[in-house]
Structure 1
């Protein structure tokens, strides 16, 4: 019997819980993820927060489902929808994120990390990994 590759990717993702990846510049990536009961708000059964912080600890971007994304310019967000969203900038309240699977979530997060760091002229090389 062959195992489902999505389950392997999910387990890989869950292993990120509590990790902090430090960059030479002092920026860091923080990962929080755990299984929760399946619900309309978290249909994938995960609660997560992936964030990039500057050297002073201020969040620059983030992907999470801790709360509903904010309503903007007449955009109604039903309270029964999934809470997955992402913050493209430090000041943005959040925009809906279409969670597909664990692999895509990681790829999307790291793509945005590379974008922000490249715009700041900062290397994305990880120099230290903390397990918490």
Structure 2
């Protein structure tokens, strides 16, 4: 699917998450920030997003976002990615490219990675509140 024809229902689905916080029984929380932008080379799908999992103290553990370009890992003959979609697998990860396919896939990938991280911490993924 091309970015120029991302279905409106996908845009509305992700925009519906904007401002949500899902609080887990452990005190960890999921935070969602989404807004519509004019599509560009850097953000061809026209969405600015940040989907993050946080520790109880607020420190980010995992994040999928497009707030900045990821550091270029290749040599001088490897072209740097133009798009800003990326994800942070750990709290110290500077980011790695994320292949944005669809809103549904972004949500699946985020929730799977959040669940993996919580499992690694021996924390159950039990949502007790939404703000």
TM-score of the two chains, using structure 2 as the length reference: 0.89
Q: Aligned Cα RMSD in Å?
A: 1.9
The answer to which of 68-77 and 81-90 deviates more is: 68-77
Structure 1 CA distance for aligned equivalents of residues 87 and 6 of structure 2: 25
Give the superposition deviation at 1:13.
Answer: 1.2
For 2:87, the equivalent position in structure 1 comes to 86
Q: Which runs of 5+ in 1 are unaligned?
A: none
Structure 2 CA distance for aligned equivalents of residues 44 and 118 of structure 1: 32
Structure 1 CA distance for aligned equivalents of residues 68 and 12 of structure 2: 24
For 1:69, the equivalent position in structure 2 comes to 70
Give the superposition deviation at 1:74.
Answer: 3.4
Matched, 1:22 2:23: yes
For 2:54, the equivalent position in structure 1 comes to 53
For 2:109, the equivalent position in structure 1 comes to 108
Structure 1 CA distance for aligned equivalents of residues 120 and 126 of structure 2: 15
CA deviation profile, 1:20-77 (whole Å, cap 9, x unmatched): 1000100000000111000000000000001100011000010000000112363855
For 1:43, the equivalent position in structure 2 comes to 44
* Kept in 2: contact 1:59–1:90 (CA 8 A): yes
Q: Which runs of 5+ in 2 are unaligned?
A: none
* Kept in 2: contact 1:48–1:65 (CA 8 A): yes
- The residue correspondences of 1:1-12 to structure 2 (distance < 5 A) are 6-12=7-13
